[in-house]
Amino acid sequence: MNKLKLAAGSAMAAALFAAAPLALAQEQATIEASTGIDVTVHEGDFATIQQFTTPGGISVWLVEEQSIPIMALRMAWETGSATDPEGMEGLTDAVTYLMNEGAGEMDSLAFATRMEELNMGFSCGADSETTYCSANMLTDNANEAMEMIALALNEPRFDQEPFQRFQREELIGIRTRETNAGFLAGRARAQALMPDHPFSRIKTADSINALTTEMVAQRKDAIMAGDRLYVTAVGAMTPEELAPLLDEALAGLPATSDVEGIEDVALNDPLTAPVVVDLPQPQSLVTFTAPAMARDDDDFFPAYVLNYTFGGGGFESRLMKDLRVEKGLTYGIYTGLSTSDHLNLWTGGGQTKNESAADFIAGITAQMESIVAEGITEQELSDAKAYLTGSYPLSFDSNAKIASGLMSARLEDLGVDYFDRRNAMVEAVTLEDVNRIAAEYLQPSNFTFIVVGAPEGIEETADLPMPLLGQIDVDEAGDMEESNIDEASDAVRDPNR
C-alpha cells in the first residue's frame, strides 16, 4: 500500500477505487491457474510462441521471457482513421489521444501520476487501417499496471479538459504541417494518385472543431471491439498469470463492431512529369511512387529481395551507390515496399540541394532504366539474400521487437510459423523472378515523382489533377525502407538507415 499512499490528495479516492478490482483480478488468477488454460506451444526457430484463448475469449500470442522483469503488451484493432465519418477527420486520433488521459475516478493528472508511480507506460495510436495500444510494465507490479489498462479501456472519461487540449494541439499541427516537406509530399501524392479514396482525407480545422467528446466515446466503442482485436505479449509472465489480467481489461469490450470496410484503392495513372510543391528551404525532397503487389502475392518476395538491390539495402543499393557514393548528390536515398489490405505501393525518396534536383531525378530514372533493361546480377541477388536472411535474427533480440513482430504477423495473417518459413521464402527467389519483377514494376513511367522545396532545372512539371485536399502518410525519406536494417533503438540512431 505504500505506493497508494504516495498519491497526491486529489488522487487518493481514485487510488482506493483502483484497489478494489485488483483483488478481484488476483482471485481470478488463482481460479484459472488451478483450472488451467489450453495453450498451443509453437517451438519456433526464433521464439517459442504460446497461443491461447482466455476464458473471456481473448486470443493471445505470448512469448515468455524471464530474464528481465518486464512485459511488453501489444493490442491492435482492425479499424483505423480511414473510416472516420466524413467531416470528422481526426475522430480516431481523438480516441487514441484520450485513452491515457483519465479513467474511472482518476482525471488526467491522477491517471498520469499513477502510471508514473507504477513505472508503467500505456498509450494508443492509429494509422489509416489499424488502431494500436501498447503497454510496458514491470512484472513486479503487473497486476496494478494491468488494472490501470483495464480502467482505461473500460471506463475512459473523455474529459473536456484533455479533449480541448487535443483540439488545440491539432489546430497547431494543421498549421505547422504546411511547412513539413514529408507531409506536403504525401498530400500531393495522394492527390495525384487517389484523390477520392478515404486514405486521402485529411484533418482540417473544421473537422477538428466539429468533434465532441460524445462522438469520441461512440467511436471508441466502434473501434475497440472484441471481433477486431489482436493481442501479443512478451515478458516474464505465464499464460496462467496473464489470462485473467487480459480478461479484466479486454473481455468487457463490445463484442462486435459495425464499422464498414474500406474499398481497395484504384490508383490513378502515374503522372508523366514531376509535381513541384514550393517550400522555402535549401534542399528538395524528392519522392517517387509506383503501384506494387499485395503482401500475399507470389511476386512479393522477389520484389522484396529486388528492393534491397534497388534502393532498400542502404549502401548496398544501386541508388545509394550511384547518387550518394558516386555522385555526392545526397546524404541518403531509400526505397521500400509498403503493403496493406487496400493499398500496395513501391515508394522511394531522398533529399538533395535545390540546385541539383534535376540531376537527382535524372539519376534515379537512369537507375530504374538500367535495372529494367538489364536486371540485377547473380552476385547482387546472392548478396541481397545473404543480408536479408543473415540479419533476420536481429529482429528478435528484444521483448519490444518480438511483441511488435508477432503483432505484424497476426495483423497480416502470416501464420504462427511465418518466422520459421520466411528465410526459406527469401532463399527461393530466383534471378528470373527478380528480373521479371524489375521489368514490370520499376519502369520509370510507373512512378509519380513529387518534389518539395525550391528545385532548380526541372524543365517539365505536372500539375495536380485537383486542388490539394488529401493526404496519406508518406514516410520521411529516411524511413522508407523495410525496418530490418534500422536498429529500433534511439541509442544508436541514424534517421537515414
Partner 1 sequence: MKAFLAGGLAAASLGAGIAFADTSEAEWAPTTFELDNGMDVVVLPDNRAPVVTHMVWYKVGAVDEDPGKSGIAHLFEHVMFKETDDIGPEEFTTIVQRNGGQLNAFTSWDYTAYYERVAKTQLERMMELEAERMTDLIINDDPEGPFISERDVVKEERRQRIDNNPGVILQEQVMTALYRDHPYNITVIGKMEEVGALTPQDGLDFYNKWYTPSETILIVAGDITPEDVRTLAERTYGQIESANTEPPQRGWQDVQPLAETQLITHSDPKVRQPEWERWYLSTSFTQDREFAYALNVALDVLGGGRTSRLYQALVEDQKIANDASAGAWLSLHDTAPTVLSASPSDGVTLEALEEAYMAVVNDVLANGFTDEEVERSRNSLAASAIYQRDSQAGMANLYGRTLAVGGTVEDVMNYPDDIRRVTADDAIAALRRVLGEDKNYIEAHLLPEEEQAAEESQTDE
User: Exactly one of 400, 416, 454, 469 binds partner 1 (CB under 8 A); which one?
Assistant: 400
- Residue 171, interface with partner 1 (CB under 8 A)? yes
Cell triple for residue 473? 502518410
Please give the Cα distance from 490 to 237 (Å, whole number): 26
- Residue 1, interface with partner 1 (CB under 8 A)? no
- Residue 497, interface with partner 1 (CB under 8 A)? yes
Cell triple for residue 417? 510459423
- Residue 138, interface with partner 1 (CB under 8 A)? yes
SS3 state of residue 278: strand
- Residue 161, interface with partner 1 (CB under 8 A)? yes
Beta partners for residue 133, in sequence order: 75, 124
Query: Which residues in 240-279 contact partner 1 (CB under 8 A)?
Result: 279
Q: What are phi and psi of 69, to 5 degrees?
A: -80, 55
- Residue 42, interface with partner 1 (CB under 8 A)? no
Please give the Cα distance from 361 to 104 (Å, whole number): 55
Please give the Cα distance from 418 to 242 (Å, whole number): 24
Q: Least Å distance between CB 171 and partner 1?
A: 8
CB-wise, 130 or 351, nearer to partner 1? Answer: 351
- Residue 479, interface with partner 1 (CB under 8 A)? no
Q: Least Å distance between CB 492 and partner 1?
A: 5
- Residue 41, interface with partner 1 (CB under 8 A)? no
User: Exactly one of 232, 283, 309, 335 binds partner 1 (CB under 8 A); which one?
Assistant: 283
- Residue 34, interface with partner 1 (CB under 8 A)? no
Q: In this structure, are residues 334 and 349 in contact, taking their beta carbons and an 8 Å threshold? A: yes
Q: Least Å distance between CB 186 and partner 1?
A: 17
Q: Least Å distance between CB 131 and partner 1?
A: 21
- Residue 280, interface with partner 1 (CB under 8 A)? yes
Please give the Cα distance from 154 to 147 (Å, whole number): 10
Cell triple for residue 86? 466524413
The three-state DSSP-derived secondary structure of 415-441 is CCCHHHHHHHHHHCCCHHHHHHHHHHH
CB-wise, 119 or 213, nearer to partner 1? Answer: 119
- How many beta carbons lie within 10 A of that of residue 313, not counting itself? 24
Query: Which residues in 203-242 contact partner 1 (CB under 8 A)?
Result: none
Q: Least Å distance between CB 232 and partner 1?
A: 15
User: Exactly one of 26, 256, 272, 391 binds partner 1 (CB under 8 A); which one?
Assistant: 391
Q: Following DSSP, what letter does each residue of 314-352 receive, concatenated? A: GGGSHHHIIIIIIT---S-EEEEEEE-SS-EEEEEEEEE
Query: Which residues in 340-379 contact partner 1 (CB under 8 A)?
Result: 351-353
CB-wise, 138 or 468, nearer to partner 1? Answer: 138
CB-wise, 389 or 408, nearer to partner 1? Answer: 389
Q: In this structure, are residues 358 and 455 in contact, taking their beta carbons and an 8 Å threshold? A: yes
- How many beta carbons lie within 10 A of that of residue 127, not counting itself? 14
User: Exactly one of 21, 69, 125, 254 binds partner 1 (CB under 8 A); which one?
Assistant: 69
